[in-house]
């Protein structure tokens, strides 16, 4: 019976030592450089690849490294990460430009879909009506930073809106156009594993943890016009919330 706590403590100490060693290796490697391969790192640190991979996930979640399937693991420049509050509704493009970071849209897919019962309920529209689905990947500072999906009710954006100068932000496009006038967004924040589709588009590994913002966008008239799902690499996007002391 006495051996069980000792084994647990030994395992915990092993992981803590590995964490410290990896932190030192990452800190001493210039931003943009590739680390040793996982087999080489695991052998040099005296741990299994599974244990190493678990530790590296935590550093990737902090935005310190980026693993690319079949290519390697690279050290990132943490000064190019974005920290923002959740109180003000802003696009990732606006936040990146404010920090002087290069931002561009990569993958883009726009199509019309027929609303099933679930989507019709979310968008407060009739079942079998057509909605617009816009999915795209936003790159910031030479790396995929976000995978965004917007589902809009009919009549909000037309083909002309999306073909001329669309840079990836539905929010910015509507604000720039000035109609409809926007009021607020109701947003839920959760952690979720990357699906195969999202992992491929964001150059991640399937199952990597992403930060997901699920939001409903409302006009000043109280109409919900957009249901969106935004997936971010946790360490790259750091959201802050100012909370007052309760009475």
d(CA 34, CA 163): 38
For the stretch 106-144, pLDDT in tens is: 899 999 999 999 999 989 999 999 999 999 999 987 788
SS3 label, residue 247: coil
Tell me the HSE value of 86 on the side-chain side, using a 13 A CA sphere. 15
Domains of the chain: 3-76 (1.10.10.10), 79-240 (3.40.1410.10)
Residues 6+ apart with CB under 8 A from 179: none
Give the DSSP letter string of 145-192: EEEEEEEE-TTSS-HHHHHSS--S-HHHHHHHHT-SPEEEEEEEEEEE
d(CA 106, CA 186): 27
For the stretch 161-218, pLDDT in tens is: 888 778 899 999 999 888 999 999 999 999 999 999 998 898 887 888 899 999 999 9
For the stretch 68-96, pLDDT in tens is: 777 888 887 766 667 777 788 889 888 88
């Amino acid at each position: 019976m006495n051996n069980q706590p000792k084994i647990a403590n030994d395992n915990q100490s092993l992981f803590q030592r590995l964490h410290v060693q990896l932190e030192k290796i990452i800190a001493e490697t210039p931003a943009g450089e590739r680390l040793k391969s996982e087999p080489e790192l695991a052998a040099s640190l005296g741990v299994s690849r599974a244990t190493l991979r678990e530790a590296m996930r935590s550093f990737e979640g902090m935005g310190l490294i980026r693993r690319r399937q079949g290519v390697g693991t690279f050290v990132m420049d943490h000064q190019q990460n974005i920290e923002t509050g959740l109180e003000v509704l802003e696009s990732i493009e606006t936040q990146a430009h404010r920090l002087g970071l290069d931002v561009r849209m990569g993958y883009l897919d726009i199509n019309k879909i027929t609303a099933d019962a679930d989507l019709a309920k979310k968008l407060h529209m009739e079942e079998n009506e057509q909605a617009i689905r816009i999915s795209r990947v936003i790159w910031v500072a030479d790396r995929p930073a976000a995978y965004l999906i917007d589902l809009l009710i009919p009549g909000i954006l037309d083909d002309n809106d999306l073909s001329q100068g669309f840079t990836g932000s539905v929010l910015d496009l509507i604000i720039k156009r000035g109609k409809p006038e926007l009021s607020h967004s109701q947003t839920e924040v959760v952690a979720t594993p990357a699906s195969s589709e999202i992992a491929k588009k964001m150059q991640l590994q399937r199952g990597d943890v992403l930060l997901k913002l699920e939001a409903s966008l409302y006009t000043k008239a109280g109409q919900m016009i957009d249901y969106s799902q935004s997936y971010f690499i946790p360490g790259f996007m750091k959201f802050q919330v100012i909370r007052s002391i309760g009475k």
